[in-house]
Structure 1
Amino acid sequence: MSLDAVDITAGYSGTSDVIVRESFSIPAGSLVGLAGPSGSGKSTLARVLALLLEPRAGVVSIDGREVKGVGLAVSSEIRRQVAMLFQSPRAATDPRMTLRAIIEQPAAIVRRRIVVEELAERVGLTVDLLDRRPHQVSDGQLQRACVARALAQEPQYLICDEATAMLDAATTASIMRLVQSEARDAGMGVLMISHDAELLAAIGAVAGQRP
Structure 2
Amino acid sequence: MWSARRISVDYPGTPVLEDVSIDIAPGEIVGLGGPSGCGKTTLARAMLGLRAPHRGTISLDGHDIRSAPRGSLAMLFQAPRSATNPRHTLRRIIDEPQRIRAPRGARARSSIEETAATAGLTPDLLDRYPHEVSDGQLQRACLARALVQRPRYLVCDEATAMLDPVTTATLARQLVDHAREHHMGILLISHDIALLGAVADRALSLPAPGPAR
- Pair in the same fold by TM > 0.5: yes
Conserved 8 A contact 1:51-1:79: no
Aligned equivalent of 1:88: 79
Aligned-pair distance for 1:204?
4.1
- The counterpart of 2:181, out of the listed 175, 180, 185, is 185
Q: Greater Rg, structure 1 or structure 2?
A: 2
- TM-score norm. by structure 1 comes to 0.87
In the TM superposition, residue 140 of structure 1 has moved relative to its aligned partner by: 0.4
TM-score relative to the length of structure 2: 0.87
- Residue in 2 that maps onto 1:120: 116
Q: Secondary structure at the match of 1:191?
A: strand
Greater Cα offset, 122-131 or 159-168: 122-131
Whole-Å Cα distance in 2 between the matches of residues 200 and 146 of structure 1?
Answer: 21
Q: Which residue of 1 aligns with 2:4?
A: 5
Q: Give the match for residue 142 of structure 2.
A: 146
Counterparts of residues 62-73 of structure 1 (less than 5 Å): 62-68=60-66
Matches within 5 A, 1:20-59: 20-59=18-57
**Structure 1: gaps (5+ residues):** 69-73
Structure 1 residue 11, shift from structure 2 partner: 4.7
Q: Distance in 2 between matches of 1:149 and 1:101?
A: 9
Gaps of at least 5 residues in structure 2 are 206-213
Q: Given residue 84 of structure 1, which amino acid in structure 2 is its aligned partner?
A: M
State whether residues 26 and 152 of structure 2, in contact with CA within 8 Å, keep that contact through their aligned partners in structure 1: yes
The 1:112/1:54 distance shift into structure 2, 3 A limit, reads: farther
For residues 40-72 of structure 1, the C-alpha deviation after alignment (integer angstroms, 9 at most, x for no partner) is 11111011112222222221100111123xxxx
Retained in 1: the 8 A contact 2:5–2:22?
Answer: yes
RMSD (Å) for aligned C-alpha atoms: 1.9
Q: Which has the higher contact order (CA 8 A, sep 6+)?
A: 2
Seen in structure 2, the aligned counterparts of structure 1 residues 59 and 11 have a Cα distance that, compared at 3 Å, is same
> Within 1, Cα distance between the matches of 2:45 and 2:70?
13
Answer yes or no: is the 8 Å Cα contact 2:48–2:65 preserved in 1. Answer: no
Specify the SS of the correspondent of 1:147.
helix
Matches within 5 A, 1:121-136: 121-136=117-132
Q: Percent identity, aligned pairs only?
A: 51
What's the counterpart of residue 205 of structure 1? 201
Q: Give the residue type in structure 2 aligned to 1:171.
A: T
Aligned residues: 200
The AA in structure 1 aligned to 2:57 is V
Residue by residue over 1:10-64, the C-alpha shift from the partner in whole angstroms, topping out at 9 and shown as x without a partner, is: 256x674421222111111111111111111111101111222222222110011
Equivalent residues of 1:192, 1:205 under 8 A apart: no
Q: What letter is aligned with 2:82? A: A
